[in-house]
């Protein structure tokens, strides 16, 4: 197999995008020369980036500055983006206003990408789509793009929606391949681009077996039920309100809930008030590094995937949560968004409930109070990850396309 030089592009940070990290790791492990070009996105991820990037085997470069590195560049690009967004809002998508509105450090990321002569340029969020195509065109190379999210369905702002469609229709036809994170996004993307001639592949958000902890059965003497939920931010529209309502109604002091993520203080106070009967049974554990999540999850009984379907994108995606829980051997309680219901119907990963139905959610939680039922589901999920839902198997789809 001929070794390639590959540039992965993101307008966000590696530690908030496990998918780009997994791709970079896999491509690098296959012997290819990989560079990840990325941009500052959020303050709390800086420390996580430092820890993550210490141990990677691929090249990486921050472009466009940050509040702590190359500050003047960061504040300049931030102000420039605001101006471009204002112009884009009033004058439309011409003259690269759409591209520069979508990506704070569009010019810096494009310059950095063009400075590296590679075989492949692969974009990992919408702001990087145009940069991947332009860099590949500049070097007569190939380009790909990852639809981890269905961008056309992310919000209802008409002008933003029009900008997204403009960018996709302008650049997607030039891609050699498209990857998506769910079968529904694949279906929608295929429908949106009926004349597209490149490859489209569904690449699920599975994790590496190297992160899978040993399976441990629950002790028969342990009468607690340990629930776990994580995200980058503990906030609204994530299904937590109906969960707290359900737990408060159950009012069982043997049921504990741990929440991991960056805590929004107003929402935290709201949840405490909502959990009047069970405040002492809700535990906020902070941000768990992505590489530590599977082993951390393994100490819990149930992983929660509570998406509310608040947007089309939220309804048709499969989050990292599900695949982390599978790897850890958690039973899963899952809300019936369009994609989550389809996935659960196919793989039987846990108990599903109708969105915002606290009474149905109560039944699903209490179902797992039975030790035998709980352990059977946990073992099923652990083996599903071990045999099928793992990154080692999933990434071969990508490797087959690129090489």
C-alpha R_g of the chain: 22
Helix-then-strand count for the chain, H and E: 18, 13
Q: Is 77 helix (H, G, I), strand (E, B) or coil?
A: helix
CA nearest to 228, candidates 272, 278, 285, 289: 285
Average pLDDT over residues 48-60: 94
The 8 Å CB, 24+ separation contacts for 167-173 are 167/93, 167/98, 167/99, 167/102, 167/126, 167/129, 167/130, 168/126, 168/129, 168/192, 168/193, 170/130, 171/129, 171/130, 171/132, 171/133, 171/145, 172/129, 172/145, 172/196
Average pLDDT over residues 28-47: 94
pLDDT over 90 (residue 53): yes
Average pLDDT over residues 52-61: 96
Q: How far apart are CA 120 and CA 5, in angstroms?
A: 7
Q: How many CB atoms lie within 10 A of CB 149?
A: 19
CA nearest to 113, candidates 86, 138, 87, 82: 138
Q: What is the pLDDT confidence band of residue 263, given thresholds at 50, 70 and 90?
A: confident
What is the enclosing helix (H) or strand (E) of 210?
none
Average pLDDT over residues 64-83: 96
DSSP assignment of 86-138 equals HHHHHH-STTTHHHHHH-TTHHHHHHHHHTS--SEEEE-SHHHHHHHHHHHHH
Query: pTM value?
Result: 0.95
pLDDT over 90 (residue 281): yes
Q: What is the pLDDT of residues 134-192, one digit of tens each?
A: 999 999 999 999 999 999 999 889 999 999 999 999 999 999 999 999 999 999 999 99
The pLDDT, as a whole number, for residue 345 is 98
Q: What is the pLDDT confidence band of residue 321, given thresholds at 50, 70 and 90?
A: very high
């Amino acid at each position: 197999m001929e070794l390639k030089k590959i540039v992965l592009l993101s307008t966000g940070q590696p530690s908030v995008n496990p998918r780009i990290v997994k791709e970079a790791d896999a491509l690098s492990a296959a012997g290819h020369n990989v560079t990840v070009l990325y941009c500052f996105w959020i303050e709390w991820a800086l420390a996580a980036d430092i820890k993550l990037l210490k141990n990677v085997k691929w090249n990486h470069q921050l472009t466009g500055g940050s509040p702590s590195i190359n500050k003047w560049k960061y504040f300049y690009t931030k102000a420039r983006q605001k101006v471009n967004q204002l112009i884009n809002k009033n004058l439309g998508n011409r003259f690269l206003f759409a591209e520069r509105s979508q990506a704070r450090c569009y010019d810096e990321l494009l310059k950095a990408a063009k400075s590296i002569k590679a075989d492949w340029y692969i974009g990992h969020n919408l702001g990087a789509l145009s940069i991947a195509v332009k860099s590949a065109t500049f070097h007569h190379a190939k380009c790909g793009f990852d639809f981890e999210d269905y961008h056309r369905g992310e919000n209802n702002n008409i002008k933003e929606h029009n900008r997204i469609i403009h960018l996709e229709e302008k650049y997607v036809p030039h891609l050699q391949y498209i990857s998506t994170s769910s079968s529904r996004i694949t279906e929608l993307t295929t429908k949106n681009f009926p004349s597209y001639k490149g490859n489209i592949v569904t690449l699920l958000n599975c994790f590496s077996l190297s992160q899978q902890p040993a399976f441990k059965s629950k002790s028969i003497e342990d009468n607690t039920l340990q629930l776990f939920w994580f995200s980058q931010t503990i906030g609204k529209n994530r299904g937590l309100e109906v969960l707290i309502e359900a737990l408060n109604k159950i009012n069982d002091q043997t049921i504990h809930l741990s929440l991991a993520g960056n805590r929004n203080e107003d929402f935290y106070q709201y949840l405490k008030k909502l959990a009047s009967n069970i405040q002492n049974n809700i535990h906020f554990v902070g941000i768990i590094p992505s590489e530590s999540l599977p082993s951390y999850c393994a100490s819990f009984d149930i992983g929660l995937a509570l998406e509310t379907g608040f947007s089309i994108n939220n309804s048709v995606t499969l989050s990292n949560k599900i695949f982390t829980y599978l790897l850890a051997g958690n039973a899963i309680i899952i809300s019936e968004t369009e994609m989550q219901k389809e996935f659960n119907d196919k793989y039987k990963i846990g108990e599903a409930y109708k969105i915002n139905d606290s009474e149905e959610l109560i039944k699903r939680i209490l179902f797992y109070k039975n030790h035998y039922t709980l352990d059977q589901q946990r073992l099923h999920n652990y083996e599903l990850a071990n045999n099928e839902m793992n990154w080692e198997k999933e990434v071969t789809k990508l490797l087959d396309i690129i090489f």
